[in-house]
Chains A and B, each alone.
Chain A
Amino acid sequence: MAEIIDMPKLSDTMSVGTVVKWNIKEGQTVAFGDILAEIETDKATMELTCTVPGTVLKIYASAGSQLPVGEPICAIGKKGEAAPEPKKAPAPKAAAPAIPESTGIPCIPEAPTSSNTPLATQSDGSRTKASPYARRMAEKAALNVAALSGTGPGGRVVGRDVTAATNAPTAAPAGPINVAVTPPADGKGIQPDADSPVSGMRATIARRLVESKNTVPHFYLEVEVDAAPLLALRETLNKRLAESAAEAGLKLSVNDFILKASAEALRRVPAVNASWAGTSIRQHSAVHLAFGVALEDGLVTPVIRDAHSKSLRDIAVDAKALIAKARSKKLSPAEMSGSTFTVTNLGMFGVTGFYGIINTPNAAILSVGATIKKPVVDAHDRVVIGQRMAIGLSGDHRVVDGANGAQFLQALKQILEEPTLILI
């Protein structure tokens, strides 16, 4: 039976070999140990030793040809035997057990869908820090771990916090309502009974405002501003802007003016641009203004950085861009954090006056109401029709005293009633 000699594997890394030269011819008799050929490998030129004594029946690979390991190069058999047909070298048998192509486990974990994300986003965009054990306990108690305050290192929510929350009598709604509310007698209510899971944003709002209300000693000051000069100036400026082709699209809102005025008022009364830091009060040199933007399912407060050095135009442009981002949920964590003062405005809804909850670690929040027409007493003691805007200031009494707050409002009122003061 003829033996086919294949291109041998002469080194552990060899994959192809070149027949440099044949030492034997077809028809020649060979013995064990004779050198058949010289084969060049990736490492060196090696000799191919004959391991099958007999007669060389056929040479398949001519000198100089390069072949993969396992390909037939010659055949040796009995003298006179027919040379076998060289088959294509069979595909290398997969070593069993074969190393599987894939384990079915994706390398990159799929992005979690919102439904199974139990983690709230903090205002600085980071995950809620909670120990695995606390998460498990919270899940069991149907508490949202992101809504809890953590007493562990770095504010981590740990087991005892969940225990405390579960046991606290006045805790935030602990899962299903435990007061039985009877369904409508006529079977038709205002809206179907439903339990909607608290979204990340809602949970964050809940947590932060609970924290603010519980830890900050709020006090409240109000001032009423004659808005007529402001509204007149705004109208004039917007008209001029509309006339100019270069300014197409830019429109100033009342809120833009208020933001700018607030920055200027803070320049005059900087004590309000500070934060409580436990054993010290941090005075901020920059004014980063947060302002409220109402969304369908909640509220966000994007931040205009360095409002103290920005013009009215800059502020208006920034505000517009931030509002657009807020509405399309594209605000980055950096754009939602780091404020030193916050302004909220419910005037567009007709609310005449209100007091917001401080956006910690700010020291105060300004709440702006609608401008309404009402009878007022002018400088000459006559009753005339005035355009009045009520502005409330909620202050952190640890940082801001009544007097500072009053001074701030005084400055703000002055600027708003004489808006050209913005220019200096």
Chain B
Amino acid sequence: MAKNAVITHPESLKRPAGPSAYAKDPANASLTKADKIALYTKMARVRHFEQRCIRIYQQGKIGGFLHLYVGQEAVAAGTISLLGKFDHLITGYRDHAHGLLVGMSMKECMAELTGKVTGCSKGKGGSMHYFAPDKNYWGGHGIVGGQVPLGTGLAYAVKYRGQKGSCLTFMGDGAINQGAVHEAYNLAALWDLPVIFVIENNGYSMGTSQERSTAHPGCLAKRAEGYNMTWDVVNGHDVYEVRAKTAIALKRAHEESKPTVLEIFTYRYFGHSMSDPDKTYRDKEEVKGYRETKDPVFLFEKELLDEGVLTKALVESINAAAMEEADAAAVFADESPDPTVADITKHIYWEEDNRGPKTTSRGTIIFE
């Protein structure tokens, strides 16, 4: 039977009623009305996309896993909204939001879920493997923590090239115990790499709370001290706060080429994945509580309504448009064709996909 809410937000982080304390932060002060509406719209689009996925999954059209971001929108939206030309990002398998937020279309994302050839990975990756290198988005990875050394490497490349950039390396609270993550922390600190480790702490690693999985729970980012790295905690329900604190980390990366560990407290309303009946580790009241008091989309909506930036009508039309867009994407996914058997052996080797005078490798590369 589930225990009480296990996210122990320090008192100082409990959000006071009223507008965000970070609304006037330098990172947010220059946001225009249009910028704010755009930010809200982005979060709404992510939510509607994720929710539309549930229907498709229930209809049996999505195979394997589906890890939803509903409730965590402010984390991806806030961080990604700050990225510049040389800032990159990489994340684990709860990756739909990040893809949409860098500019991937709902159509290609939805089609990927249903394994169609029009999907962003041509049906070869699935829910956990969205990639958009042209938008500095490097996936979408299935092995917990496996992407963290990769993100560290992306930061390494940025530094190697002498660029003022960074790599936002997202991971869940469950990943911080993986050995590869510790190795990456060490390398980032040892070599002064511009990597920002973002721990999206939604309180649960699949079905296991932090108390049950992490020695010294309560603050996951504090481990950074063991590696001589700067760290901070962030209230992930407040998109302004996310922006404010991420901006500091970005500045540190760009100007000093030093890493940061940010722990962003957030919450997911649905189970770890669609096949997770989350009744075994938390109770309904807890979920309801968060929905009503800490939903990042509703909180930002309220704030902007209070500010006069949004109107009820605008809120409705933005959400209706997002729903329509998601519906259209679902139809697109349904009507798209599947890959063919011949497609199975494509896109394995750069060599095979780019045969020409420069390619020198010969011999059998795909076996029967």
A and B touch in the complex (CB under 8 A): yes
Q: Determine whether the beta carbon of A51 is less than 8 Å from that of B58.
A: yes
Q: Tell me, yes or no, whether A423 is within 8 Å of chain B by CB.
A: no
A51's partner among B52, B63, B291, B337 (CB-CB below 8 A) is B52
In angstroms, Cα B341 to Cα A51, docked, is 34
User: Quick one: closest A residue to B53, CB to CB?
Assistant: A51
A8's partner among B58, B64, B341 (CB-CB below 8 A) is B58
A97's partner among B52, B57, B60, B341 (CB-CB below 8 A) is B341
User: Quick one: closest B residue to A51, CB to CB?
Assistant: B55
B230–chain A nearest beta-carbon distance, Å? 39
Q: Tell me, yes or no, whether B51 is within 8 Å of chain A by CB.
A: yes
Q: Determine whether the beta carbon of A10 is less than 8 Å from that of B338.
A: no
Q: Determine whether the beta carbon of A12 is less than 8 Å from that of B275.
A: yes
Q: Determine whether the beta carbon of A11 is less than 8 Å from that of B275.
A: yes
Q: Tell me, yes or no, whether B340 is within 8 Å of chain A by CB.
A: yes
Q: Tell me, yes or no, whether A361 is within 8 Å of chain B by CB.
A: no
Q: Tell me, yes or no, whether B59 is within 8 Å of chain A by CB.
A: yes
Q: Determine whether the beta carbon of A46 is less than 8 Å from that of B51.
A: no
Q: Determine whether the beta carbon of A51 is less than 8 Å from that of B277.
A: no
Q: Tell me, yes or no, whether A95 is within 8 Å of chain B by CB.
A: yes
In angstroms, Cα B62 to Cα A10, docked, is 11
Chain B contact-residue range equals 10 to 19
Q: Determine whether the beta carbon of A32 is less than 8 Å from that of B51.
A: yes
In angstroms, Cα B59 to Cα A9, docked, is 6
In angstroms, Cα B340 to Cα A9, docked, is 25
Q: Tell me, yes or no, whether B54 is within 8 Å of chain A by CB.
A: yes
B341–chain A nearest beta-carbon distance, Å? 5
Interface string of A1-33 (1 = CB under 8 A from B): 000001011111000000000000000000011
Q: Tell me, yes or no, whether A91 is within 8 Å of chain B by CB.
A: no
Interface hub of A46, A48, A51, A70 (most chain B Cβ within 10 A): A51
Task: Find chain A residues with CB under 8 A from B291 CB.
Answer: 33
A70's partner among B52, B60, B64, B277 (CB-CB below 8 A) is B60
Q: Determine whether the beta carbon of B277 is less than 8 Å from that of A46.
A: yes
User: Quick one: closest B residue to A3, CB to CB?
Assistant: B55
Interface positions, chain A 78-99, Cβ under 8 Å from B, are: 95-97
B133–chain A nearest beta-carbon distance, Å? 29
Interface string of B335-364 (1 = CB under 8 A from A): 001101100000000000000000000000
Q: Determine whether the beta carbon of A8 is less than 8 Å from that of B51.
A: no
Q: Determine whether the beta carbon of A52 is less than 8 Å from that of B341.
A: no
- Given A8-B59, A12-B275, A49:B338 Cβ within 8 A: no
Task: Find chain B residues with CB under 8 A from A51 CB.
Answer: 51-52, 54-55, 58
Q: Determine whether the beta carbon of B58 is less than 8 Å from that of A44.
A: no
Q: Tell me, yes or no, whether A368 is within 8 Å of chain B by CB.
A: no
Interface string of A22-60 (1 = CB under 8 A from B): 000000000011000000000010101101100000000
Interface positions, chain B 60-100, Cβ under 8 Å from A, are: 60, 63-64
In angstroms, Cα B251 to Cα A325, docked, is 98
Q: Tell me, yes or no, whether A69 is within 8 Å of chain B by CB.
A: yes
Task: Find chain B residues with CB under 8 A from A49 CB.
Answer: 54
Task: Find chain B residues with CB under 8 A from A70 CB.
Answer: 59-60
Q: Determine whether the beta carbon of B59 is less than 8 Å from that of A96.
A: no
User: Quick one: closest A residue to B291, CB to CB?
Assistant: A33
Task: Find chain B residues with CB under 8 A from A52 CB.
Answer: 55
Task: Find chain B residues with CB under 8 A from A96 CB.
Answer: 337-338
User: Quick one: closest B residue to A49, CB to CB?
Assistant: B54
In angstroms, Cα B46 to Cα A292, docked, is 92
B58's partner among A9, A32, A97 (CB-CB below 8 A) is A9
Q: Determine whether the beta carbon of B275 is less than 8 Å from that of A95.
A: no
Task: Find chain A residues with CB under 8 A from B277 CB.
Answer: 44, 46
Task: Find chain A residues with CB under 8 A from B340 CB.
Answer: 97
Task: Find chain A residues with CB under 8 A from B57 CB.
Answer: 9
A68–chain B nearest beta-carbon distance, Å? 11
In angstroms, Cα B261 to Cα A92, docked, is 48
In angstroms, Cα B57 to Cα A69, docked, is 12
Interface positions, chain A 357-415, Cβ under 8 Å from B, are: none
Q: Determine whether the beta carbon of B338 is less than 8 Å from that of A6.
A: no
Task: Find chain A residues with CB under 8 A from B58 CB.
Answer: 6, 8-10, 48, 51
Interface string of A94-136 (1 = CB under 8 A from B): 0111000000000000000000000000000000000000000
Task: Find chain B residues with CB under 8 A from A32 CB.
Answer: 51
Q: Determine whether the beta carbon of A69 is less than 8 Å from that of B51.
A: no
B338's partner among A48, A69, A95 (CB-CB below 8 A) is A95
Q: Determine whether the beta carbon of B338 is less than 8 Å from that of A9.
A: no
Task: Find chain B residues with CB under 8 A from A44 CB.
Answer: 277
In angstroms, Cα B51 to Cα A52, docked, is 10
A365–chain B nearest beta-carbon distance, Å? 55
B301–chain A nearest beta-carbon distance, Å? 15
Task: Find chain B residues with CB under 8 A from A95 CB.
Answer: 338
User: Quick one: closest B residue to A92, CB to CB?
Assistant: B60
Q: Determine whether the beta carbon of B55 is less than 8 Å from that of A9.
A: no
Task: Find chain A residues with CB under 8 A from B269 CB.
Answer: 33
B216–chain A nearest beta-carbon distance, Å? 34
Interface positions, chain B 277-330, Cβ under 8 Å from A, are: 277, 291
A74–chain B nearest beta-carbon distance, Å? 13
Task: Find chain B residues with CB under 8 A from A33 CB.
Answer: 269, 291
Q: Determine whether the beta carbon of B60 is less than 8 Å from that of A69.
A: yes
In angstroms, Cα B277 to Cα A188, docked, is 94
User: Quick one: closest B residue to A41, CB to CB?
Assistant: B277
In angstroms, Cα B291 to Cα A296, docked, is 95
B270–chain A nearest beta-carbon distance, Å? 8
Q: Determine whether the beta carbon of A97 is less than 8 Å from that of B59.
A: no
Interface positions, chain B 1-60, Cβ under 8 Å from A, are: 51-52, 54-55, 57-60
In angstroms, Cα B51 to Cα A95, docked, is 25
In angstroms, Cα B52 to Cα A52, docked, is 9
Task: Find chain A residues with CB under 8 A from B337 CB.
Answer: 96
In angstroms, Cα B64 to Cα A11, docked, is 10
In angstroms, Cα B53 to Cα A51, docked, is 9
B208–chain A nearest beta-carbon distance, Å? 19
User: Quick one: closest A residue to B63, CB to CB?
Assistant: A12
User: Quick one: closest A residue to B280, CB to CB?
Assistant: A44
Task: Find chain B residues with CB under 8 A from A46 CB.
Answer: 277
Interface hub of A9, A44, A46 (most chain B Cβ within 10 A): A9
User: Quick one: closest A residue to B48, CB to CB?
Assistant: A32
User: Quick one: closest A residue to B56, CB to CB?
Assistant: A51
User: Quick one: closest A residue to B54, CB to CB?
Assistant: A51
B154–chain A nearest beta-carbon distance, Å? 34
Task: Find chain A residues with CB under 8 A from B52 CB.
Answer: 51
Task: Find chain B residues with CB under 8 A from A11 CB.
Answer: 275
Instruction: Give residues in B with beta carbon < 8 Å to A.
Output: 51-52, 54-55, 57-60, 63-64, 269, 275, 277, 291, 337-338, 340-341
A and B contact pairs by CB, cutoff 8 A, 7 listed: A8-B58, A9-B58, A12-B64, A12-B275, A33-B291, A51-B55, A69-B60
Please provide the 4 A-B residue pairs with the shortest distance between their CB atoms, ordered closest to farther: A8-B58, A9-B60, A51-B55, A96-B338
With contacts A6-B58, A70-B59 known, what are 14 further pairs, Cβ within 8 A?
A6-B59, A8-B58, A8-B60, A9-B58, A10-B58, A12-B64, A12-B275, A33-B291, A44-B277, A51-B54, A70-B60, A97-B338, A97-B340, A97-B341
